[in-house]
Structure 1
Amino acid sequence: MTEVRVPTLGESVTEATVATWFKKPGDKVAQDEMLCELETDKVTVEVPSPAAGTLSEIVAAEGETVGVDALLASISAADDAGPEQPKERSQKENGDRAEAKDEKSDTGGSGAEMDVMVPTLGESVSEATVSTWFKKPGEAFAADEMLCELETDKVSVEVPAPAAGVLTKVLAEEGSTVEAGGKLAIMSTDSDAAPAPAADDKDEAPAASSSGTGKDVEDAPSAKKLMAENDLTDVQGTGKDGRVMKEDVLKAMAAPAASAPAPAAAAPRAPVAAEQAAREERVKMTKLRQTIAKRLKDSQNTAAMLTTYNEVDMSEAMALRKQYKDEFEKKHGVRLGFMSFFTKACCHALKEVPEVNAEIDGTEIVYKNYVNMGIAAGTPQGLVVPVINDADSMSFAEIEKAIGEKGRKARDGKLSMAEMQGGTFTISNGGVYGSLMSSPILNPPQSGILGMHKIQDRPVAINGEVVIRPMMYLALSYDHRIVDGKGAVTFLVRVKEALEDPRRLLMDL
């Protein structure tokens, strides 16, 4: 018998959720054939079969949370005398289920009930808002058909049906807030199942709240580690069944700060005449918009933010783009834009001024020997910052393809959590909207963000003569706690030099 266990998931990742099983008990498997897929808060991990044989037992079902090296399943060897045992057991179980179904049909019962759960939402995301239900109680659906859509403070998450069946009861209505791992609805695998009476909702509410009173549940590994490091014992958990999550410990650690003088409360809204109030519309802020507001304000309150400016003559970059854009698109299948020029110029400058590519972690400075470039993108839902990993090692074509792909996903609301995490520096292009000058706000925990602006013909003095050139203002906002004025100015000058003479990028000057 060969055991299938959870592989190493990566640095600081201690648990994962079983997303999909590609094999069922009794199925034959070849060595290295994919058995299942795990989802962590950062990546999706495929688990291959360690040996050829027959999948005899699945220990961790879909939707379960498992730790590193936990037992997932077991495999009977191909030459084992009893490879057919799982199949026989499966046939017996099928027979038992068939008998149970016959009994249920004799007594008017329905198929097995299943819970529709909130999926893993991503790193540091513990709750979501139910945005839209695509199915109503009583409606049938196929396996993997979308049942509802959740909105977190970063992305929208679609919830597929775990199996074919009928939606019997919705537990979380549209607009309600749900926690990761919580119940969304109840479904039945019997297509003839009827929706549960609405009155049951009242009976279930107390039971749901009382289930979280017990503390005989395993706290999140990251939470236990933080509590041990900070000598915390009594932390109120907000996870499923009262489970203590990392966010709960962070809130408890910040609790002493509550004794500090509280900031002045926001001024009350001025009275509005009745006839004017009738013409107003109140709309609840989306989770994404609330998070944008909170993060930007936190950034201002935390970092010693300062902005320095420069301007760049875009003549050479524009001429180079015009000369090669047709050949570039023909060969690489993507248009040559200015973002690749700026990305390359920033990567070049960050090598010389590494503190702009660093971040503060407590009393330490973490220098990044790579560049994960965040490209701010405006969407109908709000501002998002998809990240291009290892942009410093990519070509112009690879950068343009990555920007195009991430931009499409951002507009369609299809960006994953992993695609918006891990950025070390950000570029924000307000020029596409006509902005001539602005001071971008840092994207914490990053220490620098470059603001691009509109290219505008302006008179400039060159060699004692006034000429008209396509000019752009550049703005670098930086955290003055680790970036000095000299470093910030040097960074902007290096970006300016690279854009005004793109050949410097080839020469690494």
Structure 2
Amino acid sequence: MTTEVRVPTLGESVTEATVATWFKKPGDIVAVDEMLCELETDKVTVEVPSPAAGKLADIVAAEGETVGVDALLANIAETGDATPEPAARTEEARPAKAGNGAVDIMVPTLGESVTEATVSTWFKAVGDSVSQDEMLCELETDKVSVEVPAPAAGVLTEITAPEGATVDASARLGVIAGAADGAVEPAPRPEAPAAAPARGTGDIEDAPSAKKAMAEAGISRDQVTGTGRDGRVMKDDVARAVAAAAQPAPAPASIPRAPVPADDAAREERVKMTRLRQTIAKRLKDSQNTAAMLTTYNEVDMTEVMALRNRYKDEFEKKHGVRLGFMSFFTKACCHALKEVPEVNAEIDGTDIVYKNFVHMGVAAGTPTGLVVPVIRDADSMSFAEIEKAIAEKGRRARDGKLSMAEMQGGTFTLSNGGVYGSLMSSPILNPPQSGILGMHKIQDRPMAINGEVVIRPMMYLALSYDHRIVDGKGAVTFLVRVKEALEDPRRLLMDL
């Protein structure tokens, strides 16, 4: 009897995911709720627990594959089940013997339609002792990075695919000897060349072949531009640096982009984009390509809001245990304006317009890994204190990387506060499928004409980006004016004016 492992619910508007990592391989014993694999969507990472105890019989969706909701990922057989295991996994479950107690290290399953990979990093060198399942090297494909564990314990006696090499799906990467009986003596480890200066934090390990080539050529690490993962120096990089040094004039760096002088290239650093950054880039470009995006601007005099906040902030914090900021005022003002201009709070679904009779407010938050937008649900029915508490909690969870997928979905409108970074004016990009986003900016004292006199007032520029397919210019301007009126006279919020 077998139990199916299927893709869990991914959340509202998320229809597919990519299988990023399998933590188990066919033949492994698993317990209930033990993590089997990890899926990546365009928003968050989802862990898939085991629905039953038993043995992982087979993997249907390999790493790198794109799967839909409820798609079959794998099958779990009961421990005592006599059902024969699939023939396709025989090689993966049993290491290939190379003779004399040696075991070949083979390229693991790369996923559907992936036929080759590049060896990016070896974590072990020839002569090192390794234990079973210890990480030996890392491969990079056009979809994901794949770690290669040791198929057996022993000594790494040979590396047949060095860093930078491109290998196919059935290639041999190296050989482990002495796994079975310890009869094979460890190969003498080659003497390492003098360590080259490390870059950055000092934890980037250059390719051993590159170190040897630098030592033979008599050049230092800072004379070579690394094109490997995280800026690692590969053997080809050293060859290019040596060739450039032999030229009478500085030669451009030999990389597929606009020519860069060698002296500039030596000061550059190349870092691979994270999956989150790639997703952010894709979604922002998709937003530009899909929506008829337009931005309208206005400015707001923050005098009354600042005076009200200064007057009550101590009493507010003492009673509610949270500081009174500006975000609750903007949230309230936007909720008020969205009632009058509901199309800004709507979305397009095919040929239909879906109007939302509630406000799930997205609040953009910058984190060390990128921009995320946690959602405060039913913000239109919350008090100032409830909004401030929710914003503080979501911001803290965002910075700690602990937001769940559900906390970042379902937003109907978004606030983006670039003013905290000093932005004076910018045009925010829509967060699909939403039709509106309000950009807040820096509060700056400026001379204003008030009742025929020039006075200094704390002013803020506001920018509303909207989808012109559903929101007309009149509606966008009206929305922004209502937000401005509510902030310049906060009493209007109490009177529902």
The answer as to whether partners of 2:438 and 2:462 remain within 8 angstroms in 1 is yes
The one-character-per-residue Cα deviations of 1:200-257 (angstroms, maximum 9, x if unpaired) are: 8899724469xxxxxxxxxxxxxxxxxxxxxxxxxxxxxxxxxxxxxxxxxxxxxxxx
Distance 1:318 1:134, change over 3 A: farther
Alignment partner of 1:192 is 2:154: yes
**Counterpart secondary structure, 2:353:** strand
Distance 1:428 1:286, change over 3 A: farther
The one-character-per-residue Cα deviations of 1:51-79 (angstroms, maximum 9, x if unpaired) are: xxx9455546698688738585467xxxx
Distance 1:412 1:300, change over 3 A: same
Q: How does 1:85-124 map to 2 (within 5 A)?
A: 86=80, 108-109=101-102, 115=108
What is the alpha-carbon root mean square deviation over aligned residues?
5.4
Q: What one-letter code is carried by the residue in structure 2 that aligns with 1:205?
A: V
Distance 1:135 1:416, change over 3 A: farther
1:167 aligns with 135
Aligned with 1:353 (options 341, 351, 367)? 341
**Counterpart secondary structure, 1:344:** helix
Q: What one-letter code is carried by the residue in structure 2 that aligns with 1:179?
A: K
2:143 aligns with 179
1:325 aligns with 313
Distance 1:59 1:311, change over 3 A: same
Q: What is the rounded CA distance, in whole Å, between the counterparts of 1:3 and 1:43 in structure 2?
A: 24
Aligned with 1:454 (options 439, 442, 456)? 442
The one-character-per-residue Cα deviations of 1:33-60 (angstroms, maximum 9, x if unpaired) are: x5667755367477697xxxx9455546
**Counterpart secondary structure, 1:170:** strand
Q: What is the rounded CA distance, in whole Å, between the counterparts of 1:117 and 1:387 in structure 2?
A: 34
* TM-score normalised to structure 2 length: 0.57
* TM-score normalised to structure 1 length: 0.56
The answer as to whether partners of 1:168 and 1:195 remain within 8 angstroms in 2 is no
2:484 aligns with 496
The one-character-per-residue Cα deviations of 1:284-308 (angstroms, maximum 9, x if unpaired) are: 5854677766665665555433322
The answer as to whether partners of 2:419 and 2:443 remain within 8 angstroms in 1 is yes
> Please, which runs of 5 or more residues in structure 2 have no aligned partner?
84-93, 172-256
The answer as to whether partners of 1:171 and 1:201 remain within 8 angstroms in 2 is no
Distance 1:374 1:195, change over 3 A: farther
Q: How many residues align?
A: 381
Q: What one-letter code is carried by the residue in structure 2 that aligns with 1:387?
A: P
Distance 1:379 1:131, change over 3 A: farther
Aligned with 1:385 (options 372, 379, 392)? 372
> Please, which runs of 5 or more residues in structure 1 have no aligned partner?
76-84, 90-99, 119-125, 143-163, 210-267
Distance 1:491 1:204, change over 3 A: closer
The one-character-per-residue Cα deviations of 1:456-501 (angstroms, maximum 9, x if unpaired) are: 2344455666554322221212222211122112211222233234
1:428 aligns with 416
Q: What is the rounded CA distance, in whole Å, between the counterparts of 2:313 and 2:139 in structure 1?
A: 54
**Counterpart secondary structure, 2:134:** strand
1:481 aligns with 469
Q: What is the rounded CA distance, in whole Å, between the counterparts of 2:442 and 2:136 in structure 1?
A: 55
**Counterpart secondary structure, 1:319:** helix
The answer as to whether partners of 2:300 and 2:459 remain within 8 angstroms in 1 is yes
The answer as to whether partners of 2:23 and 2:36 remain within 8 angstroms in 1 is yes
- Quote the offset at 1:136 in angstroms: 4.4
Q: Which moved more, 1:416-425 or 1:367-376?
A: 416-425
Q: What is the rounded CA distance, in whole Å, between the counterparts of 1:26 and 1:454 in structure 2?
A: 54
